[in-house]
Amino acid sequence: MVGRPAVGGGRWVEVDPGRVARWVAGFADRHGPPTTAEQAYGLLLAAPDGATAELHTPPGARAASDVPGFAAAALTPRRIGLLLARKGAVAVGVAAGEELVVSKVDTRYVQGRTAAGGWSQQRFARRRDNQAKAALGDAADLAVRLLLPEASSLSALVCGGDRRAVDTVLADRRLAPLAALRAERLLDVPEPRRAVLVAAVAAARAVRILVRDPAPS
């Protein structure tokens, strides 16, 4: 499992909750039995050869002090809200465990960039900005209708897409109860569509692990 390079070194891997114990066993086989320390983000595994693995608690899961407890908490079904937003599209949903039980996708046209210069370019830019603002306003209304009534039952709100667009939607005062549930994780997703929203359920539940290999001898 190669993973994605991490800022500051190491690599990120994402593991299905049901495979956490197996992944840790493989880490121990490769690097030696690790020590386990509870951290604010989850668990830190430190192997005898200097390799480390940071297991980050997935959104909405309870904290744990050891690997069996961590794996059980990650696998426990919970209700998670989803908000995926980009300039011209939004998708909202609620996942109960692995199942998407509430969903809605809304796409609104936003003027593309123009190659024209001068006043024409400025006019198109203003129109595009106005269209984007209107689209994000609609996104906030959609979240109010579908997600806000679910807020009391959600263990977390996981967002994805463009951070600025998501921030704009959640800045709506009506969505304060949802903003309070927002997880740090921001899913990297393309323009929201039904299939993207479905795939986001697994991504929101996945255990993110930051792996750092031992320093060269």
CB 214: neighbour CB atoms within 10 A? Answer: 12
pLDDT score, position 115: 47
> How many CB atoms within 10 Å of residue 174?
11
Beta 156-161 vs 79-86: how paired, if at all? Answer: parallel
Q: Which helix (H) or strand (E) holds 68?
A: helix 67-75
The encoded tokens of residue 79 equal 């209700």
Widest Cα–Cα separation across the chain: 66
**pLDDT for res 132:** 52
Instruction: Tell the burial category of 21 from Cβ atoms under 10 Å away from its Cβ (0-12, 13-18, 19+).
Output: middle
Residue 85 and residue 166 in contact, taking contact as beta carbons nearer than 8 Å: yes
Nearest to 215 by CA among 2, 6, 1, 9: 9
The pLDDT score that the predictor gives to residue 88 is 74
Instruction: For the chain, report the end-to-end CA distance as a whole number of angstroms.
Output: 23
- Domains, the chain, in order of start with CATH, read 4-76+206-212 (no CATH), 79-204 (3.30.420.60)
pTM for the full predicted model: 0.85
What pLDDT, on the 0 to 100 scale, is given for residue 189? 94
Helix (H, G, I), strand (E, B), or coil: what is residue 53? strand
Cα–Cα separations (whole angstroms), residue 216 to 50, 131, 174, 213? 10, 53, 53, 9
| Contact between residue 81 and residue 154 where contact means Cβ atoms under 8 Å apart | yes
Q: Kindly report the number of other CB atoms within 10 A of residue 76's CB atom.
A: 13
Mean pLDDT by 10 residues, the chain (217 residues): 83 97 97 97 97 98 97 97 89 97 78 48 53 65 95 98 93 96 96 94 97 87
Contacts of 22 (CB under 8 A, 6+ apart): none
- What does R_g of the chain's alpha carbons equal in angstroms? 20
Confirm if 185 and 158 have CB atoms less than 8 A apart.
yes
Measured between alpha carbons, how far is 93 from 3 in angstroms, rounded to an integer?
Answer: 27
* The residue count for the chain: 217
